[in-house]
Structure 1
Amino acid sequence: MKKALLPLLLALFCLTAQAQTSGRFSIKGTVVDSSGTTLPGATIMLLLPKDSSLVNFGRTDEQGVLEFKNIKRIPHLLKISYVGYLPYEQLITPTDDAVFDAGKIQLKNLNQDLFEVVIKTARAPLSIRGDTVEYNASSFKVPPGSTVEDLLRKLPGMQVEQDGTIRAQGQEVQRVTVDGKRFFGGDVKMATKNLPAEAISKVQVFDGKSEQARLTGVDDGKKEKNLNLELKDSHKKGGFGKATVGAGTKERVEAKVSYNRFNDKQQFAIVGLGNNTNQTGLTWDDYQDFRGSQSFNWGDDGDFGFNNNDRFISFGDDESLTISPGGGQSNQGFTKNWVGGVNYNYDNKKTLFSSNYFFNQTDRVQDAFNQRESILSANSFRNEDRNSTGNLSANHRGGIRLEQKIDSLNTLVVVSNARFGNGNSSYISEQRFYRNNPVWSSSLPNLATRADIANANRFNSFSMGNTALYRHKFKKKGRNMAASVGYNINNSDGESSQRSRNEFYTDGQDPRIVNVNQNNETNSVRTQLKGSLLYLEPIAKKFTWETFYNFSLRQDEVDRDVFDVNEDNSTFVANEQLTRAYSNRFIYNRLGTSFRYANKGLNIMLGVAGLQFDLQGEFSQGQSNSTRSSIDRQFTRLTPNASLRYDLKNNRYLNVSYSMNVNEPSITDLQPIVDNSNPLYIREGNPNLVPQSYHRVSTGYQYFNPGSFVQFFGNIYYTYNVDQIVYSQEIDENLVTRSRPTNVTGGSNLGSYLNYGFPLKKTKSTLNLNTSLNFSKNLIFINDILNETNSNRYNFGTRLSLTPSDKFTFYGNADWSITNTRFSVNSQQDQKIINSSYSAEMNVKFPMDIFFSSRFNVNTYKNDQFGFNQVQPILNLSLYKVMLKSKKGEVRLSAYDVFNQNQGISQYASQNFVTTSQVSTLARYFMLSFTYNMRGVTASVRKNGYY
């Protein structure tokens, strides 16, 4: 038996070995040049011969050795590329051996005679040149009608968040260009969401220098992730674009159109949309422009020197104006939206001209229920607010940028951006304030205050930011200077009416009633003159000395008239207590210097700057009042700064930095004027405020392997506040709050973030893990008692990407967040907020060019202190077919929120309060749409079926 068993086992072993050998094999080889010298870091790719689809990729090791393991035993195409050499291509036909030895693979030097051959044959899906990763877009299949955003989701090492934010190699992309040119003023999402994927030839990802480094040519150690979209030659000739129209249940309609016409010197693009499906098309830049604070783009502000990011002019932030367009998140409530934009660029090497115009109008209505618990020393009180808001806002913005290269040493840049906005809003609210400990008994136990509010608002605003920037490079390498001058203006005016009935309950007595019936008229003009100088001098080969100067003169003129109105709106009487006029003048000077050491990847900077603030203001009870009071305050501070960036080679970087920033108090906060326009929340200024400052220390490490696409990013940061301006509160027995700005020292914030991503199987599956911790301490005085609020936040998330074929893709996400909030004045009110989000997205391609997409989200919200526990499942489905000649048409049937569960839910805890909010919003509806593509498309599976 044993003699018979032994041959049987040997035969079984041989069959198993043969089966394993026939199924998989490995490829090895060594890449050398014509002299036999090995070429480390060469890009190697393995493709399928039938369609050049990418199977695996990597780089040769330090000895020039390439290796692919566990490869299917079928023919493959091996491609090798190296800068300065002709790309190599070889068909690998497997033998019965476990390892296919390609031997020494010799690359030929690239010369002019071979250039045309290179252009025609070098179509590898991916190539790596130093820090630049270049993707051949045609090698990554996306479905018909897909945008660049859909294409980016397919690329190894790229990640697109649900809000459209792009991350490459673990870092957020700061700039997106098209053929190296700006698109809609540099707006990242305008390019990725509106350009069609079939127009793109290559996607290039690289580390760009900061604006100051580009200006001077001196590396300041700062890097930002850039992305360039290179168009196909076919799309540089003639126009391309698409149009979509749709109609659905609940009277939902949508329309969208885009058209582009590009060539080597000029770019022209137009986009437009209109819908009532809550798709605003509004990006962060649009929102900032609407508020008037985005006066510049891409670092063209001309504010030279370190830590000068907060020196932007800020329009429309004056708390006294009360003419804002109204709140509400873009995806909440019910909105009607109209958007249109035009972009034009011209580039003839010496002259770069960019211009854009953008229009946005949103009409939103929403109903909300908010609960807020405010923490006091002995107890707490709760506020419930049921409100209805309506906002109609329109925004026009336009900008031009001209960069003229006078000669090789001199450059002039002129930037001008303008924004005009107008709108109106209405706000109706029923507010109830409850005491936790009742002192009387009635049909409404614990009721302290009741308010019924009906406000209306109208506003107009105009702002413009202008900058001229001159750059000069001296003949001595590294010696540079730059100068800038800027002028900004913001005009705004508005009218508002405030109507409210306020009932205050005390000790079972009849309520004390305070009625507010007022009209407000506000006019504001703010101007700012800016200037900045920068000079860099190389001290030695490795050292650079930098000095800079910043100047700003800001002038504010505000006139606010308040009138008391009788019940029939026939009589208007000036309210001298609330009427006010003021003129403010703010002068800012900063002189700084720094020394920089740069050698072999190590970049160290040490610097210090002196700041001087001069705040002058006059105010009175209206323009006609001859009695005027004044404020005249001067502050001087020193702000040190230090940074270290170390290139550890092989795409590993270490960053360490320390900075101190100083912010002056606003003149509004300094003015000792009482504002009781809201009887439940009274504000008062404090002339004794001093500037607030904060110290920040951070360190970070990042690693990215362009061969394996393993990425890791981690950082730790700490901020400590000195003389922080907080709004202390005094709350009386009727729960009326009086707020006054106060300086306090001791607030802090400690946090960390880790991200780790790696392919489970190259080009087929990727897993990404991330976690963040944040520990913050906020200080605030409540009834003269210092409350210390400690919030500990723990977040963890994971993302799985499965793309096994062009016919099926799956994407899964999970995020968990726990926030523990503790109050020093009343530990019984400590809170634990738990939020989680799960999502799964599946895309399938069926025969006859039919596609199916689904996305399922489950969001949970829990707060035991409020008894709040919500689970929100959202399911979206889409079925569409590509049709017409050249596949130019698409018919799509979509179902949104199949379970009819969509509602805006949020939770938040800070300082001495905790809030929860529920907002009614657009829920289940169905939509039938048709899309026409001017050029036609090729069909495969889309990453996201809803955009």
Structure 2
Amino acid sequence: NSGAPVSFGQNNSGDTKSITAGLNMNYDLPGKNKLNFSYYLTQSNTDLSQLTQRNSFQPGFNLLNDKIYNSISNALNHNFYSSLDIKIDSTTEFTFTGSLGLRNSDNISDRIDSTLTEERVLLNLNDQNNDNDTESDNYSAQLNFRKKLKKKGRTITVDGSIGNTSTGYLNNLLSKVYDENLVLNISRSVLQYQDQQSVNNNYNYGATYTEPLNTKWYLTLNANRKNNKTDLIKEFFDLDPDNTTVRTLNEELSRTFDNTFVYNIGGANIRFRNDRLTFSTGVEYQNSRLDGIPSVGEPINRSFNYFLPKASLELENTNFRVNYNTSVREPSMDQLQPVVDNSDPLNVYKGNPNLIPEFRHNMRISYNFFDQFNFRSLFANIRMGYTKNRITTSSFVDQFFVRNQTPLNTDHESTLSGNISYSSPIKFLKSKFRAGVNTSLTSGINFINQQSNNIDRWTNGMNLLIENKTKTRFDASISGRWSFNNNIYKNKEALNTEFVNQTYETYLALFAGKNWTLDTRLEYNIYGQGSFDEPTTVKLWQASVSKGFINNKIVAKLRVFDILNQNQGVSRTASETYIEESISNSIGRYIMLNVTYSLNALSAQPQPQRMMMMH
């Protein structure tokens, strides 16, 4: 969908050091009953340095945004999980699952944001420091009860769940905004201590009943109720520029907002099955109610009623499937609360309490074929979607060149996508190949400076791989991937953008005998210039040598990653209102010695013990 940016490239996570430890226990109880318990502890430290360049589209002109961002973050997570399976008799069983999560994190970041004209003339600048701490805990529990009744095929299922998430967020924000002459703008700067607490409680319960009408027809009835309640408290304090320990409550930004979504759903579905096909169709009726209580402004009381049809068809002998369904997506709490988010003074966001839910239609058609004698395969998918009351983000730039954003409902959005993949041996080359193409078109409406625009977003891709078929002495492959991306504005062709990303890769492994293996891989990424200032290229070359001992129960492997020391995280984003490229630090050249011991030499997933040395 056009509201969520589409990204291409490597992960921009920076340098991360992490430690994970876990415990998993399974206990078989009498009567084929089972108990499971697991616990995982994760500690991580991330050092991120990132340079981002954005081109924002405006009527008649574009704005450039440069951002230099550095952060150090730490996180500590405790996760508990338990499940209990009980079989009362041959017709009755239930499953209970529960989870508990505890998270603590802190982050210190510095950033410099600047807004420039297309000629790179400075318009404003934001020098910002953040120091925040977050504590979060959550728990959930689910119960599922299943009962087979006397008549064959007649079943009843009852399930329910409860959950809670509590989050506390403390942030010390020091953001100094300067004008085009680098003069400090006191009114636009933000020096604040921000205390935000949120609590979410939810529950869900329902029942499903299936009645066999005969040996081929089945009727299913279902009903359930959901409740999702969130309480938010924001207390923002302005800091004295001369003494940041002096705090004054900012009554305009300090708000409370409580909202509750309640859903009541009932439906019926009929299913037919024989040796040739399976067909089902049904409809659900959904009543949803939204109650919002802001500390400032009018309460929100709304009710929505929807009929949600669905259908599916599967042809057994031809591997052909068609699925159609409808769904409703309500606006999030951030989108609903009419409170200014000033955490980024050059990009200010404010929710819209007048939003209404999206209504979505989705259809998927799929086909797959595999010839087990000639080892040929074909996979194809087509997806179509139509969304009524699509929620998008409207933005406008004020006289201070500050970008103000708020969510709005548009009339509709439509999507069409497809992909096809084919593989086959090449006998005269004693090899095999795999080729695929994919395409995606999203047509919708966006708002730039409060003016609506019709926009088409095209994404097209191709991939090709050729590899040797017999891998007794060596394993070799060569491949390529291409991605073509276009934003087409029907009303303003000057805003059209395009770029191409390419990846070429080659791999070679030699099985030298006596359990020796040598392998190397080279990946060449080209992020084409297109609508960006210049192209970006990244070459990744790695190699390894390994030796197996004691019938391969012990395997020692020496690996060198990023031999050319060029690795970096590159990400490109194409949204409705801007294009963006981010380049971040990533782990560079290193050497790793990996020793794997397997109790069973045939084990497909040996547990490694590692020693790591980095250079």
Alignment TM-score, normalising by the size of structure 1: 0.60
Q: 2-side partners of 1:675 and 1:938: how far apart? A: 56
For residue 279 of structure 1, what is the aligned residue in structure 2? none
In structure 2, the CA distance between the partners of 1:890 and 1:448, relative to structure 1 (3 Å rule), is: same
**How far did residue 662 of structure 1 move?**
1.0
- The answer to whether structure 1 residue 843 and structure 2 residue 470 are counterparts is no
Q: 1:330 to 1:818 in 2, by over 3 A?
A: closer
Tell me how far 1:909 sits from its aligned partner: 0.9
C-alpha displacement of 1:802: 2.0
How far apart in 2 are the matches of 1:710 and 1:886?
A: 35
Determine whether 1:343 maps to 2:12.
Answer: no
1:392 aligns with 2:47: no
Deviation of 1:734 after TM superposition, in Å, equals 2.4
Secondary structure, aligned partner of 1:734: coil
The answer for unaligned runs of 5 or more in structure 1 is 1-327, 438-444, 622-627
Task: Provide closer, same or farther for how the CA distance between residues 332 and 493 of structure 1 changes in structure 2, counting only shifts above 3 A.
Answer: closer
Q: Which residue pairs with 1:529 in the alignment?
A: 203
Kept in 1: contact 2:500–2:530 (CA 8 A):
no
Q: What's 2:167 paired with?
A: 492
Relative distance call for 1:935 and 1:657 in structure 2 (3 A) is closer
Deviation at 1:888, TM superposition (A): 4.9
Which secondary structure does the structure 2 equivalent of 1:867 belong to?
Answer: coil
| Alpha-carbon shift at residue 856 of structure 1 (Å) | 0.8
Work out whether residues 134 and 169 of structure 2, in 8 Å CA contact, stay in contact via their aligned partners in 1. yes
The structural deviation recorded for 1:472 is 0.7
Out of 103, 115, 123, the residue aligned to residue 421 of structure 1 is 103
Structure-2 separation of matches of 1:911 and 1:600: 47
For 2:225, the equivalent position in structure 1 comes to 551
AA aligned opposite 1:724:
R
How far residue 938 of structure 1 moved from its aligned partner, in angstroms, is 7.9
The residue correspondences of 1:594-743 to structure 2 (distance < 5 A) are 594-620=269-295, 629-648=298-317, 652-743=318-409
Query: Equivalents in 1 of 2:414, 2:77: separation in Å?
Result: 38
Match of 1:908 among 573, 581, 586: 573
Give the Cα–Cα distance (whole angstroms) in 1 for the partners of residues 289 and 600 of structure 2. 62
- Residues 551 and 436 of structure 1: CA distance in aligned 2, closer, same or farther (over 3 Å): same
1:774 corresponds, among 432, 435, 440, to: 440
Look up the equivalent residue of 1:899 and give its one-letter code. Answer: L
Query: Is contact 1:642-1:657 (8 Å) kept?
Result: yes
**Which residue in 2 is equivalent to 1:174?**
none
Is structure 2 residue 151 aligned with structure 1 residue 470?
no
* AA at the equivalent of 2:252: Q
Q: Is the 8 A contact 2:178 2:184 kept in 1?
A: yes
Task: Provide, for residues 598-643 of structure 1, a one-character-per-residue CA deviation record: whole Å limited to 9, x for no partner.
Answer: 122311111111111111121226xxxxxx7422111111111111
Q: Find the aligned partners of 2:368 and 2:10 in 1 and give their Cα distance.
A: 34
Partners of 1:852 and 1:665 in 2: CA distance: 54
Report the Cα offset of residue 935 of structure 1. 3.6
Given that 1:332 and 1:903 are in contact with CA atoms closer than 8 Å, whether structure 2 keeps it comes out as no
Contact 1:831 1:863 in 2 (8 A): no
Cα separation, partners in 2 of 1:594 and 1:849, compared to 1, 3 Å: closer
Q: What root-mean-square deviation, in Å, do the aligned CA atoms of Structure 1 and Structure 2 show?
A: 2.6
* Alignment check: 8 A CA contact 2:12 2:584 kept: no
Write the distance in 2 (CA, Å) between the matches of 1:695 and 1:712.
27
Structure 2 residue aligned with 1:860 = 526
> In percent, how many aligned pairs have the same letter?
25
Decide which of 350, 358, 382 is 2:40's aligned counterpart: 358
What is residue 456 of structure 1 aligned with on the other side? Answer: 131
Aligned to 2:257: 582
After TM superposition, the structure 1 = structure 2 runs for residues 361-380 of structure 1, keeping only pairs within 5 Å, are 361-380=43-62
Partner of 1:124: none
Provide the rounded CA distance (Å) in 1 between the counterparts of 2:171 and 2:578.
29
Change (3 A) 1:432 1:667: closer
Measured against aligned partners, the alpha-carbon deviations of 1:662-714 in whole angstroms (never above 9, x if no partner) come to 11223443333333343222222223221111111221111223444322110
Query: C-alpha displacement at 1:539, in angstroms?
Result: 1.6
Offset of residue 495 of structure 1: 0.9
Cα distance in 2 for partners of 1:938, 1:481 equals 43
Partner of 1:295: none
Shift of 1:584: 2.0
1:868 aligned counterpart, secondary structure:
coil
Give the superposition deviation at 1:837. 1.1
| Residues 468 and 476 in structure 2, CA contact (< 8 A), matched pair in contact too | yes
Residue matched to 1:874: 540
Q: Determine which structure has the larger strand proportion and give its number.
A: 2
Residue in 1 that maps onto 2:116: 434
Answer whether contact 2:189 2:345 (CA < 8 A) is retained: no
Residue 789 of structure 1 aligns with which residue? 455
SS in 2 for 1:421: strand
Q: 1:679 to 1:935 in 2, by over 3 A?
A: closer
TM-score, normalised relative to structure 2: 0.91
Offset, 1:424: 0.8
The 3 A distance-change label for structure 1 pair 547 and 664 is same
Q: Compared with structure 1, are the counterparts of its residues 676 and 333 closer, same or farther at alpha carbon in structure 2 (3 Å cutoff)?
A: closer
Q: Distance in 2 between matches of 1:414 and 1:643?
A: 30
Structure-2 separation of matches of 1:939 and 1:631:
59
After superposition, the Cα gap between the structure-2 partners of 1:759 and 1:354, relative to the gap in structure 1 and judged at 3 Å, is farther
Distance verdict in 2 for CA 1:403–1:861, change over 3 Å: same
Q: Which has the higher contact order (CA 8 A, sep 6+)?
A: 2
Q: Which residue number in structure 1 is paired with residue 595 of structure 2?
A: 931
- Measure the CA separation in 2 of the matches of 1:480 and 1:495: 50
Whole-Å separation in 2 of the counterparts to 1:503 and 1:691: 39
Q: Do 1:531 and 1:552's aligned partners in 2 also have CA atoms closer than 8 Å?
A: yes
Q: Deviations along 1:108-161, whole A, 9 cap, x unmatched?
A: xxxxxxxxxxxxxxxxxxxxxxxxxxxxxxxxxxxxxxxxxxxxxxxxxxxxxx
Where does residue 538 of structure 1 map in the other structure?
A: 212
1:210 is matched with which residue?
none
Question: Structure 2 regions of 5+ residues with no counterpart?
Answer: 1-8
Q: Residues 452 and 824 (structure 1 numbering): CA distance in 2 closer, same or farther, change over 3 Å? A: farther
In structure 2, relative to structure 1, the CA distance for the partners of 1:904 and 1:671 (3 Å cut) is closer
The equivalences for 1:884-899 within 5 A come to 888-899=553-564
Matched with 1:564 is 238
Does the Cα contact within 8 Å between 2:172 and 2:192 map onto a contact in 1?
yes
Which amino acid is 2:256 matched to?
A
Confirm or deny: 8 A CA contact 1:788 1:911 kept in the other structure.
no
Q: How does 1:96-115 map to 2 (within 5 A)?
A: none
Secondary structure of 1:828's aligned partner: helix
Q: Could you tell me which amino acid in structure 1 is paired with residue 112 of structure 2?
A: E
| Counterpart Cα distance in 2 of 1:897 and 1:432 | 33
Letter matched to residue 550 of structure 1: N
